[in-house]
Structure 1
Amino acid sequence: MAENNLKYTRIDEIPTDYFANKKISGNYLLISEIGRGTFGLVYKAKDLSNPSYSNENFLAVKLMFVPNIKNENDRLREQEIRDEIKKYSTQIFNPRVVKIQDYLQWENFLLIVMEYVDGQSLQEMLKEKDGTLTFEEIVYYFSEIALGLQGVHDMNMIHRDIKPGNILLSKDKKIKITDFGISHVKGFVYEGGNAKRTLKPSSPGTPRFASPEQYIESDSSNEDKISFQSDIYSLGVMMYEATTGVELIKVNDPRLFRPSNDKDKKDRNSYLLDQSLVAEVILPSTINPAIDKALENIIMKCLEKNVADRYKTASEVAKDLKAIGKGEKIVFKKIKNESYKSDTIKKLENENKKFKTFIQSFINARVVPIIACIFMILILFMLVLIW
């Protein structure tokens, strides 16, 4: 079997249910594939080592390719990231976060064994509801997601890929945050088969839900600008789309295209960068006039481009959502702090100011004299006619 596994180098090459009915290390039996993404496959599984196992007691097992090991330093970094993930996975006790039970290597795969959530993802629920949720549903689900995020942040972890597909909903309407594949854990990042120790994560996560600071590539320093508030921005994107039924990145330009080659990818990345850093976010009420004004204010505060203007913690978002759910009023104080603006934003604003100054000076220097000349010419023309 190991020989068959090694012939695949990418997740999308592996056939559906390829590992069904396969025993892992004598402890786990993979039953059927229940999901897949760019970096991994997820299988419904049984714990064969658990004597109290019942037919209703399943696990979920995520399979990811082992990071590419090129030298001893790579091997050390790979082991460090294993230790870090294992340490953090055993310390997350928040009931709104998928519990990780085990972490091991099997042939050329890394496996994360976690609790199985019998239900659907938020993405699937949104699809069933034509992309939108009711006010009551948004207040309930997103306050729960925010509290789950706070649990992640309390462990000094930044998820970096908060999106509907990574929010699981059990049949009794409990939420579970999952998929920490590119989470930022104390400077370690695992991405697409490579282990990297870095202060500045190289992947912005899923572009559609990424915060402005996750896009900034022009900063040559290695300073880590990703913060807990990056996850809060992603939470805001999800709420925006759940209230309007429209993808936020398509609001200002519906012509967004999928990249088909390297040039298209660069063009699309430039477009997303401009949308994230520069384009003003259209109010949700412009698309959905029926939206609750207080909810709109919460969403827009999550979507502030400047980190200083966003909610400081996810628990604050949950608190405000629960308050408006009870009909309570919230007062929003917006304080601008220019020092939190990225160099990219400052540069674009400065260029815009220079352009406005140029236009104004042109008007002052040219328009008034031109109007005076035209007026004198008209007077002379009239005098000639009278003469």
Structure 2
Amino acid sequence: MSEINKKYSRITDVPKDAFANQRINNNYLLINEIGRGTFGLVYKAKDLSNPLSAKENFFAIKMMIVPNVKSENDKLREQEMRDEIKKYSTQIFNPRVVKIQDYLQWENYLLIVMEYVDGQSLQKMLWEKDGMLTFEEIIYYFSEIAYGLQGVHDMNMVHRDIKPGNILLTKERQIKITDFGISHVKGLVYDGGNIQKTKKPSSPGTPRYASPEEYIKSGSASDDKNSFQSDIYSLGVMLYEATTGSEIIKINNPKLFRPTEDADRKKREAFLLDQTLVAEFLAPSLLNPTINKDLELIIMKCLERNLANRYRTANEVAEDLKKVGRGEKVNIKKTKNEPYKTESIKKLENDNKKFEKFNKKFINKIVVPVIIGIFVIAILLLFVLLW
């Protein structure tokens, strides 16, 4: 059986380069796999639509396994999704954003055809530099990323998965924001194997980079807690890690990143809820004493849990970074960045207080008298024996 006829249910089951040299509707030739993530594979592909062209045109094609689409209603939702992708692909002209060229279905895969970037990801650059960038690199790359992010927001899109692996760098040092997969287009998500149209995304993006508000569970399916400021928080996490060389959230148990059981999912949710919403972040200067103080202020403002204190636009982040790069001061007031108080956290705190109160009463009224009684009896017994 050929690889294209195998019905894989998970991306991790697909062998590397399984589709190399496959033709897609005589329009594209898949050359080799250049990346993969939780939701899809990415192939370098050749454009076959213009064989007479002297210049070889390449694209990057993201392949995602088709969910269980069976009913006419599901097919209609898939078509709506196709129209939504096309709508955004024709409107994004920002040079800092990877352009979406086409969207199609092939065999049992959904394909997004994108601009091919001949370079490396910011993630790879960080790996090569032991997780830290120089001051000059921080100012240049992150101001460019912020400007690109503003271009995404100007199209009324929330990326929802801003992270180093989704920032590409060309050989000319130009940044390109990528990975506008279907799950990242606001209002269209996968749920239970089918395509669902909703205003509320099903889950946060990559856990380590997700904003606090993305973890708040609301009772209303139409209550969308994601905003442009959610992407700015993710930008702040990247800045924090690139200046300190330390992960802002450390998950020691790898199973918590990709839960295999319900128990693992509950542990991950509890851990992330605590780390993202409640735990205090160490100031970057405690991990990197040489950090520019104004740059530190920018990072902590991006990481504000309270949206009112966080940057409102990505352009503001870029402009402040440019100021710091020129040696100017930024007008940012330090805040305490108070823990994010959600109903679930308040309930947990109340339950803890009730438990502590019960324990105190239990100890004072039962445990202490019992211990005293045992002690008295022991003394009496000792007295009798010695007598």
Is TM more than 0.5 here?
yes
**Structure 2: distance between partners of 1:299 and 1:176:** 21
User: Which residue does the alignment assign to 1:289?
Assistant: 289
**Structure 2: distance between partners of 1:64 and 1:96:** 24
Shift of 1:322: 0.7
**Structure 1: distance between partners of 2:227 and 2:197:** 17
**Larger CA deviation: 143-152 vs 343-352:** 343-352
Contact 1:182 1:205 in 2 (8 A): no
Matched ranges for 1:21-40 at <5 A: 21-40=21-40
Q: TM-score, normalised by structure 1?
A: 0.84
Q: For residue 207 of structure 1, what is the amino acid of its counterpart?
A: P
**Structure 2: distance between partners of 1:132 and 1:183:** 30
**Structure 2: distance between partners of 1:101 and 1:121:** 20
- SS of structure 1 residue aligned to 2:230: helix
User: Which residue does the alignment assign to 1:61?
Assistant: 61
Shift of 1:45: 0.9
The superposition leaves residues 313-365 of structure 1 with CA deviations (integer Å, 9 ceiling, x where unpaired) of: 01100010011001111111468999x9643456567789x79xx9xxx9xxx
- SS of structure 1 residue aligned to 2:304: coil
- 1:336–1:288 CA distance, 2 compared to 1 (3 A): closer
**Larger CA deviation: 74-83 vs 116-125:** 74-83
- 1:326–1:3 CA distance, 2 compared to 1 (3 A): closer
Contact 1:211 1:234 in 2 (8 A): yes
- 1:192–1:172 CA distance, 2 compared to 1 (3 A): farther
Shift of 1:67: 3.1
- 1:334–1:174 CA distance, 2 compared to 1 (3 A): same
User: Which residue does the alignment assign to 1:369?
Assistant: none
**Structure 2: distance between partners of 1:287 and 1:182:** 37
Contact 2:146 2:318 in 1 (8 A): yes
- SS of structure 1 residue aligned to 2:91: coil
**Structure 1: distance between partners of 2:287 and 2:105:** 48
Contact 1:39 1:192 in 2 (8 A): no
**Structure 2: distance between partners of 1:25 and 1:70:** 23
Q: For residue 71 of structure 2, what is the amino acid of its counterpart?
A: N
Q: For residue 209 of structure 1, what is the amino acid of its counterpart?
A: Y
Root mean square deviation, CA, Å: 2.7
User: Which residue does the alignment assign to 1:221?
Assistant: 220
**Structure 2: distance between partners of 1:52 and 1:61:** 22
**Structure 2: distance between partners of 1:257 and 1:183:** 23
**Structure 1: distance between partners of 2:306 and 2:239:** 18
The superposition leaves residues 5-29 of structure 1 with CA deviations (integer Å, 9 ceiling, x where unpaired) of: 3432221111111111111101111
User: Which residue does the alignment assign to 1:264?
Assistant: 264
What percentage of aligned pairs have identical amino acids? Answer: 72
- SS of structure 2 residue aligned to 1:110: strand
User: Which residue does the alignment assign to 1:93?
Assistant: 93
Q: For residue 64 of structure 1, what is the amino acid of its counterpart?
A: M
Contact 2:305 2:337 in 1 (8 A): no
User: Which residue does the alignment assign to 2:367?
Assistant: none
**Structure 1: distance between partners of 2:192 and 2:147:** 29
User: Which residue does the alignment assign to 1:126?
Assistant: 126
Q: For residue 162 of structure 2, what is the amino acid of its counterpart?
A: I
Shift of 1:155: 0.5
Q: For residue 36 of structure 1, what is the amino acid of its counterpart?
A: R
User: Which residue does the alignment assign to 1:237?
Assistant: 237
Q: TM-score, normalised by structure 2?
A: 0.84
**Larger CA deviation: 54-63 vs 190-199:** 190-199
Uncovered stretches (5+) of structure 1, i.e. residues with no partner: 363-387
User: Which residue does the alignment assign to 1:154?
Assistant: 154
